[in-house]
Amino acid sequence: MATYPILRDAPRTLRRPRNASKQTSLTFLPTAARHGTCEFPNEASAPTQAPSLGTKPDSELVGIARLAASSPCAEVKRGTEYFLLPVKSILNHCSSPRVPFRFTVNPYRGCEFGCHYCYARYTHEFMEVPGDEFESKVYVKQDAGALMDRDLSREPVWGEHIAIGTATDPYQPAERDFQATRSILEKVAKREGLNVSITTKSNRVVRDLDLLKLINERSSLSVNLSVTTTRASLARALEPRAPRPDLRLGAVRELRSAGIPCGVLAMPIVPGITDGTEDLEALAKAASESGAQWFAGNVLFLRTASLDHFIRYIGAEFPRLATQYRDWYVRYGNAPQSYRDGITQLVRELREKYGMGWRPGRAPDGRPPRSWKSPQMELTLNEGGSDGSRPPHNAPYW
């Protein structure tokens, strides 16, 4: 198996510098970073206005920023404020050539898991809210189920990939109380011929096994569990409030036992921290033993608010990596192509070693066993299909 030098100037250790104080807990961080603005959590049930934290007065805000500023505070838990956000739709068009899906669904804005590397922090800035408050101010989209039902009726979704959980986790702690994701899945389960994926860091996804089984019978479904490392202490440092890696891998096992297509995404692979050959092999092995059907990984990239946040985090928690990160990410927003190519090769070799595919429905060499057929196209050609059959279920979406 090929190996690749990882940040040559960086230490191959995750311990703090020797002059640092000894850490006795399981996390590298003394406390999880939670910084809501409510001074009286016991009065959380009283509706309040979400503070406008940008430079503009509320009267000058437009679009999603204006909606966010007027959203009532529904609850405060664990130092995180939850606001009810009115939206016009749930199903969003995606035109980026970098992703293999046309539609996205994000039931929430913001995510309480607080992953320090999260690329989606910049989305809070659209609402004139600082990216550093991505985990402490979570916006719950109102009437998610009803809007999803309407959007599915209006949009040309047959055969198109609908990705749930692209910019915020659909099973973050807020889901336990607000159930926006479940309300969406309830509408998806009533339809046939859809092409749906779910990506999450939470084992809470198994709560909806009843709906997932229905969707899997009627449409193409795949579930991705995001796992960056098998080491619980490191995961707690990088992802302060996400479920432990073993719980996520346990969810993979439970989903596979229920017949739900499921795989593991090692995303992002964090240079100098989670990119060691032994670390990635341990993760690939654990994924395979959990029954994962695919295994994929991409190197960390950073932009705007995410870049600012993570550079500060690296400087505080992994100071000997700080110079390398500034050289790579402040200048280019990504690791060098040669480094990324090395990681891609390593992940490919691990995937082949443990017999997993690289995307849902594909063999390790990338060949799809069959193609999705749109039921709408079948209806156009011949009512009931050109051969009288229904379109195949569980076809690959990538």
Give residue limits of the domains in the chain: 32-226
Amino acid 71: pLDDT: 57
pLDDT in tens, 293-352: 999 999 999 988 899 999 999 999 999 999 999 999 998 899 999 999 999 999 999 999
Mean pLDDT value across residues 350-360: 92
pTM of this prediction exceeds 0.85: no
Is the N-terminal amide bond of 268 cis, ω within 30° of 0? Answer: yes
Local confidence band at 158 (pLDDT 50, 70, 90 cut-offs)? confident
The answer to whether the beta carbons of residues 56 and 89 sit under 8 Å apart is no
Measured CA to CA in angstroms, residue 71 lies from 37, 48, 186, 327, 342 at distances of: 15, 8, 25, 40, 46
- Rounded distance between C-alpha atoms, residue 168 and residue 89, angstroms: 16
Local confidence band at 391 (pLDDT 50, 70, 90 cut-offs)? very low
280 or 390, which is more confident = 280
Amino acid 4: pLDDT: 39
Q: Which of 50-54, 141-145, 325-329, 390-394 has the lowest mean pLDDT?
A: 390-394
Average pLDDT, the chain: 77
- Rounded distance between C-alpha atoms, residue 121 and residue 109, angstroms: 10
The answer to whether the beta carbons of residues 187 and 148 sit under 8 Å apart is yes
Local confidence band at 164 (pLDDT 50, 70, 90 cut-offs)? very high
pLDDT in tens, 254-297: 999 999 999 999 999 999 999 999 999 999 999 999 999 999 99
- The amino acid present at 360, given as its one-letter code, is P
Indicate if the pLDDT at residue 9 is higher than 80: no
Indicate if the pLDDT at residue 16 is higher than 60: no
144 or 386, which is more confident = 144
DSSP 304-366: HHHHHHHHHHHHHH-GGGHHHHIIIIIHHSB--HHHHHHHHHHHHHHHHHTT-BSSTT--TT-
Measured CA to CA in angstroms, residue 393 lies from 56, 100, 155, 373 at distances of: 50, 19, 20, 9
Half-sphere exposure of 55 (CA within 13 A, CB side): 0
Amino acid 47: pLDDT: 33
Q: Which of 23-32, 80-89, 163-172 has the lowest mean pLDDT?
A: 23-32
219 or 77, which is more confident = 219
Amino acid 364: pLDDT: 47
Local confidence band at 68 (pLDDT 50, 70, 90 cut-offs)? very low
pLDDT in tens, 223-241: 999 999 999 999 999 999 9
The answer to whether the beta carbons of residues 126 and 87 sit under 8 Å apart is no
pLDDT in tens, 102-154: 789 999 989 999 999 998 888 756 667 777 888 888 989 999 999 999 999 98
Local confidence band at 2 (pLDDT 50, 70, 90 cut-offs)? very low
